[in-house]
Amino acid sequence: MTKPAARDRLERPYADEHAASVTRPTFLPRSLDGRIRWFLTTWEAEVPSRTHVRGVWVGEQERNPERPQWSHELLGGSALGSPAWYSAFERYIGTADWPYATDADGFYLFPLHAAMGRLAHRAPMVAVILFRLGITKDRAAARPGMADDERDILIGGAIELLHRNYAAADERRRKAA
């Protein structure tokens, strides 16, 4: 091993595993429990776990050289001292083109949510069921008033439709890697 390669190995010890995981296609489990687990795991990876951090939130000030700014004229924050937003949460709710926001390489920041957004145009009730499942993490709340077996069939099919949309974006990401 040459010295630069050894140095690179020290700086990025998991580079080979990362390259393998990026090129590996996503698969959908066959069982309903496996499908729900895949959906909730992927959902939770995209949704920030925290909303606030320490400190007071104060938004951007308008710059007007003719007139001084008073504290109550600041954009954002509050006189009571609203807590500051966690940066990942602010990006999650504050992105203008959410859920279709992309990074510098053109890949979705929230790929599962982007797939749900595309699905919502074609099958809005399916997207609502999946959204309820993601928020509540409870099968019964995803589609109240249905028999358990019917609801499970509906949820399994909804996750399969979502996975088709998700896998298409994932395929594009793998080809670029």
Domain range summary for the chain, segments of one domain joined by +: 28-49+97-177, 52-85
Q: What is the dihedral of CA 71, 77, 78, 84, to 10 degrees?
A: -130
pLDDT digits (tens, 9 = 90+) for 101-111: 888 888 888 88
CA-based angle 99:37:130, to the nearest 5?
A: 40
**Is it the case that residue 40 has pLDDT exceeding 90?**
yes
The helix-helix angle for 124-136 and 32-46 (nearest 10°) equals 80
Express as a percent the part of the chain with pLDDT over 90.
10
CA 137 to chain centre: 16
- Give the torsion sign (CA, 120, 152, 41, 170): negative
Name the residue with tokens 């358990």: 148
pLDDT digits (tens, 9 = 90+) for 108-142: 888 899 899 889 999 999 999 999 999 888 888 88
Nearest CA among 149, 158, 47 for reference residue 140: 149
d(CA 107, CA 71): 39
Token pair, residue 36, equals: 């729900």
DSSP symbol at 165: H
Residue 27's pLDDT is: 75
pTM for this one?
0.66
pLDDT digits (tens, 9 = 90+) for 51-69: 877 776 665 555 666 665 5
